[in-house]
Amino acid sequence: MTTDNKKAPAQWRSSPPFYEHLGLILDALADGRSVIRLPFQKHFGNTRGEMHGGAVAALVDAAMSQAVRSTVDPGVAVATISMTLNYLAPAHGELACAGTVVRGGKSIVFAEAEVADGRGKAVCRATATYRVLPSK
């Protein structure tokens, strides 16, 4: 008897063209958790050759919003209300962001995220509040 333990690849709950533009890679998405990678590209760099903070912020928002979307019905829209980032260290190379829903509600959801570089060093922590928009 053969058992296939392979999981199906994670599927984006929404995929705006901006995600493709950034080259984001979805590694995991389920049950209020996501993991998304952002490969370093030269045009994402700042003047010191580190990943620009704006690129890190885009990664963080994508990871948290996808985590939120994994807790609502498909097709339900989600919008960022507020987001706070704390940059802990310069970000070098490919980054991975884990987004997690901390508390969900019918219309407001609170999430957090941590970004690590290729060596596993934490370079950013963030929190955000999202609005769950009613279906049309």
Q: Where are the domains of the chain?
A: 20-133
Confidence band of 6 (pLDDT split at 50, 70, 90): low
Q: What does the DSSP assignment read for the chain?
A: -----PPPPP--S---HHHHHHT-EEEEEETTEEEEEE---GGGB-TTSSBPHHHHHHHHHHHHHHHHHTTS-TT-EEEEEEEEEEE-S---SSEEEEEEEEE--SSEEEEEEEEE-TTS-EEEEEEEEEEEEPP-
**What pLDDT score was predicted for residue 1?**
47
- Is residue 42 over pLDDT 60? yes
- Residue 27: closest CA among 95, 77, 111: 95
**What pLDDT score was predicted for residue 8?**
67
**What pLDDT score was predicted for residue 75?**
83
Assign domain 20-133 to its CATH superfamily. Answer: Hotdog Thioesterase (3.10.129.10)
CB distance 130 to 81 below 8 Å: yes
